[in-house]
Amino acid sequence: MTTTEPRTEQEILDRESMDDVDAIAAFNPDPEEVLHAVQDQADALFTWDYSKGSRPRLDKLYEKAKVSQWNAQTDLDWSIEVDPLQAFSIFTESSNVGTGHWTEHPDSPAKNWGDKEWDQFSIESFAWRLSQFKHGEQGALLCTAKIVETVPWIDAKYYAATQVVDEARHVEVFEKYIDEKIGVRYPVNPHLQLLLDDIINDSRWDMTYLGMQIMVEGLALAAFGLMHQVTTEPLLKKLLRYVMSDEARHVAFGVLSLQEVYQDMTAKEVRERQEFAFEAGIRMRDRLLQQEVWDRMGCDVKKAVEHGLNIPEDDQIFNQLLFSKIVPNCRKLGLLDAGDGWLREKYTEIGVIELEHLEDTGEEYSEFSIEDDQLASSSN
Ligand SMILES: [Fe+2]
Ligand SMILES: [Fe+2]
């Protein structure tokens, strides 16, 4: 992905245009695939500078992480029985798929659906969301292991090592929930896979942070928050609350590390980071179209994707909120307005720029933390 000149939108996305429906809808996951190999091109760095605490905010985060560990097997009550339909239909109603754009519009693939189809969709859509969370968590596991190797600072290596454990626990907990409580699963979404491959393949260590800690985990933190607010299923609610307390630290890790790195970059280097933040934003927007669910529901995927891209402005609030951590963090890092403000322009085009003044996550993580005496009541 190393570039010499600013790239065009087409070059960045490797397709005709941002809303190229054919390219977005084209997917052919191999259901038999068990292993997926990606070339990791970065150097593993030893450092002989062991001075702990030379980056005090990272050191504080590391100390916080050490006392915030929880156990996915024993800290959650797995005896709780879950009725998937009851648990998830409320989420469909409150998400952007519950609007007239999908239930009544003549072009909607779901316009003739009755209760039976909507019930099935609720379960499929929820299983899809949790499956993508799980795959994204594995991406975070691999990316953070990579950061342990590639970041040059000892405080960051220490912190990243705690995040590796966190991410292993997140993969474990989502898989357990899907396996024991839903029984419906989905392979990794092609747009998410594309993004994860790009992040791991990049040779520049700070790109791992930007792609994973800022973009993928920023979206995850917002998505977990929305789901936590809406769901009434007690096991999931508590599970999400625990995961969020970790994720807020992870996003803070990205913001605090990149602030320092970006200060010394040339305009050309910053532009490359802007392009990557745009590409990642589009990949995640594409992933939210949940094309595999429409496919499994027997709909024309291309039409569903097209309809999903044409959501009226008034109905876009749900997808916008998923960017509520990404945009303020990009602003805090100076990426929105660097150079000629190229990223601001792009985030305006995809309708998320309004979120720029929400709170960034550099320090916000303490609000998400779960103290020992709160563990018992964290489902509230
Ligand atoms: Fe995670
Ligand atoms: Fe994370």
pLDDT digits (tens, 9 = 90+) for 301-325: 999 999 999 888 777 777 788 888 8
Instruction: Using the mean position of ligand 1's atoms as its centre, give its distance from the Cα of residue 211 in Å.
Output: 14
Ligand nearest to the CA of 325: 2
CA of 250 to the centre of ligand 2 (A): 5
pLDDT band of 4, cuts 50, 70, 90? low
Nearest ligand, CA of residue 167? Answer: 1
9 within a domain of the structure (yes/no):
no
Q: pLDDT value at position 371?
A: 64
175 pLDDT band (50/70/90 cuts)?
very high
Residue 23 domain-assigned (yes or no)? no
Query: 374 in a domain, yes or no?
Result: no
The answer, yes or no, to whether residue 231 has pLDDT greater than 50, is yes
* For the chain, percent of residues with pLDDT exceeding 70: 93
Q: CB neighbours of 220 closer than 8 A, spacing ≥ 6?
A: 133, 136, 137, 247
Predicted confidence (pLDDT) at residue 152 exceeds the cutoff of 90: yes
For residue 19, is it within any domain?
Answer: no
Whether 93 shows a pLDDT value over 60: the answer reads yes
pLDDT digits (tens, 9 = 90+) for 201-213: 999 999 999 999 9
Residue 32 has pLDDT above 90, yes or no: no
The alpha carbon of 158 and the centre of ligand 1 are apart by a number of angstroms equal to 17
Residue 375 has pLDDT above 50, yes or no: no
Task: Read off the pLDDT of residues 43-78 as tens digits, 9 standing for 90 and up.
Answer: 999 999 999 999 999 999 999 999 999 999 999 999
- 54 within some domain: no
In a domain, 244, yes or no: yes
The mean pLDDT value of the chain amounts to 89
Token digits of residue 133: 């969370």
Residue 336 tokens read as 């929105």
The mean pLDDT value for 26-41 works out to 85
Nearest to 305 by CA among 11, 12, 7, 15: 15
- Encode pLDDT of 322-343 as tens digits: 888 899 999 999 999 998 899 9
pLDDT score, position 18: 87
Q: Give the pLDDT score at 379.
A: 40
Domain that holds residue 210: 60-68+82-368
Q: CA-CA distance, 165 to 167, in Å (whole number)? A: 5
pLDDT at residue 165, rounded to an integer: 98
* Angstrom distance (rounded) from CA 35 to CA 12: 27
Specify the number of domains making up the chain: 1
Q: Is the pLDDT of residue 103 over 90?
A: no
Centroid of ligand 2 to alpha carbon of 166 (angstroms): 7
Residues 125-148 have a mean pLDDT of 96
Distance 7 CA to ligand 1 centre (A): 31
The pLDDT tens digits of the residues spanning 236-271 come to 999 999 999 999 999 899 999 999 899 889 999 999
Confidence of residue 95 (pLDDT cuts 50, 70, 90): low
**217 alpha carbon – ligand 2 mean position (Å):** 6
What the block records as the tokens of 6 is 């600013």
Ranking 88-92, 138-142, 232-236, 279-283 by mean pLDDT, the lowest is 88-92
Task: Write the CATH number for 312.
Answer: 1.20.1260.10
* pLDDT value at residue 373: 45
Mean pLDDT over 17-40 rounds to: 86
* Position with higher pLDDT, 53 vs 230: 53
Distances (CA, A) of 363 to 58, 73, 215, 277: 11, 29, 17, 21
Q: Classify residue 192: in a domain, yes or no.
A: yes
Question: Cβ–Cβ contacts within 10 Å for residue 333, how many?
Answer: 22
Closest ligand to residue 171's CA = 1
Of 368 and 115, the structure prediction assigns the larger pLDDT to 115
Whether the pLDDT of residue 1 is over 60: the answer is: no
Output the CA 246–ligand 2 centroid distance in Å.
7
Ligand 2 centroid distance, CA of 324 (Å): 16
Q: Where would I find the H helices in 97-233?
A: 100-103, 115-150, 154-177, 190-201, 205-208, 217-230
Is 276 inside any structural domain? yes
